[in-house]
Structure 1
Amino acid sequence: MRTRLALATLGAAAVAVIAPAPAPAQASEITTYIIGGSTVSSAPWSAQVYANGRFTCSGTIIAARWVLTARHCLSPSMSVRVGNVRLGSGTAATVTNTYAQNDLALLALGTSISTSYSPLASSDPPVGANNSIYGWGMTCYSGCSPSTQLKTATVRVTGFTSDAYGGRAIRSTRVNGNAWKGDSGGPQYHNGLQVGVASTADGSATQNYGSVAANRSWIRSVSGV
């Protein structure tokens, strides 16, 4: 069984356990966080995604007015904070519109943000590659508070599968950390390029990230990036 990775509120405990071909769910049903790994001192492209004023997911700012995150993170009232690794800090911006394909989502911002943007890959990483994942979250499986600082971990690509909405996804396994309860929408990088967006995980070692390359033409058509 796999679990979708979004966090509706910082105190949320319930998650929705789903089968390999899940039906769409609401953000309030689902959660993720990096277990293990280490903290990050600088990540100007990082984005904190908020629903109804509360932190819910991770993401990346890919252009002055665009944030990339997961579709299952979407809610009617959204905002972001960008450019700071400390949870609750950074430049705030409202979300004026949302767009989705598979388990990827684009958030249109009401304010232009000047920072270093996340570069996007046009091809998937090879099987066997060591990639980096990023997100805010708890440091253990239960009984821990979410990390107040952005975390990163190394994972190894083991193959390809489907994301939470049936799109192509990169499957990876833990090297020194793994995604769980709080990282939804967070990035996976290979050779400095964002290759994935956190979608689902099994809670112990395996995570599936929606493929940026498979959705690259859609991202370009919506955002111009």
Structure 2
Amino acid sequence: MRLRSFALIAGTAFAALLGVTAPVASAEEPSSDVQPMIIGGQNASSGPWAARLFANGRQTCTSTIIAPQYILTAKHCVASSGTFTFRIGSLDQQSGGTMATGSTVTRHPSADLAIVRLTAPVNATYSPLGTTADVSVGQTVQVYGWGATSQCGSEINCQSRYLKVANVSVTSVSCRDYNGGIAVCARRGDGITAGGDSGGPMFASGRQVGVASTSDRQTTTAYTNITRYRPWIQQIAGV
């Protein structure tokens, strides 16, 4: 299945795209007008590992803190240069938690993954990373994000203030993300990802198994399968 980009979340030089499935649109081109956020679902009651990503002070994507000094997100969310900051450990993107600034960005060469090193360690609840045994076809899994809550014309204005969660059903563990990397694909359950959800986590069996890459904002979504890239993550972040 060919996937398309979710979202043009920020604007100008920091347009961040989430991706959409084949019938909908393609994911990370600066000229794309597609955008992602969780449509449907509900507000999350917990997400201490969640980190809202801001590019030059502008809300863009979702991410997770995986170690004291490392953030995991989608490569297309940090494709441009600039200042990346994160609000970590709060369900409310406008207050609470801990604010941190990125110092360096390491982008995966072939998958829609990136790791941002923070300028200083943050004491937080770190996202537990899964293995291939944690996710399988037919499984109901959870996706989280601050993305758009409807298919609005300007997704930057309709992204959620509070972290949302939705259930989706896995259809493949070896499909493709926006950059051609290995992905977990899923179909809509009680919600679907949209603009602003890019870079956010998919949890299966209580562990993070994916990073939001693409979505059609209607029925299908693709998350880079991080269980297949654990050696790369381990090499950079030590987890």
Q: TM-score, normalised by structure 2?
A: 0.85
Distance 1:141 1:97, change over 3 A: same
Matched, 1:41 2:45: yes
Match of 1:73 among 74, 77, 82: 77
Provide the residue aligned with 2:189 in structure 1: 175
Match of 1:105 among 114, 122, 126: 114
What CA deviation, in whole Å up to 9, does each residue of 1:74-112 have, x standing for no partner? 031211110101012231111000011110110100121
Give the AA of the match of 2:6: R
1:119-198 → structure 2 map (5 Å cutoff) = 119-123=128-132, 125-142=135-152, 145-159=158-172, 160-198=174-212
Overall identity of the aligned pairs, in %:
41
Matched, 1:25 2:29: yes
Mapped partners of 1:69, 1:40: distance in 2: 19
Mapped partners of 2:31, 2:106: distance in 1: 15
For residue 115 of structure 1, report the CA deviation from its aligned partner.
Answer: 1.1
For residue 145 of structure 1, report the CA deviation from its aligned partner.
Answer: 2.1
Give the conservation status (yes or no) of the 8 Å contact 1:48–1:80: yes
Give the AA of the match of 1:128: G
Match of 1:83 among 75, 82, 89: 89
Mapped partners of 1:16, 1:199: distance in 2: 5
RMSD of the TM alignment (CA)? 2.7
Mapped partners of 1:37, 1:110: distance in 2: 34
> Where does structure 1 lack aligned partners over 5 or more consecutive residues?
none
Give the conservation status (yes or no) of the 8 Å contact 2:19–2:178: no
Q: TM-score, normalised by structure 1?
A: 0.90
Give the AA of the match of 1:93: A
Provide the residue aligned with 1:7 in structure 2: 9
What CA deviation, in whole Å up to 9, does each residue of 1:161-191 have, x standing for no partner? 1111111000000110000111000000001
Mapped partners of 1:175, 1:16: distance in 2: 19
Distance 1:24 1:176, change over 3 A: closer
Give the conservation status (yes or no) of the 8 Å contact 1:5–1:199: no
Distance 1:23 1:132, change over 3 A: closer
Mapped partners of 1:185, 1:167: distance in 2: 14
Mapped partners of 2:47, 2:16: distance in 1: 30
> Where does structure 2 lack aligned partners over 5 or more consecutive residues?
none
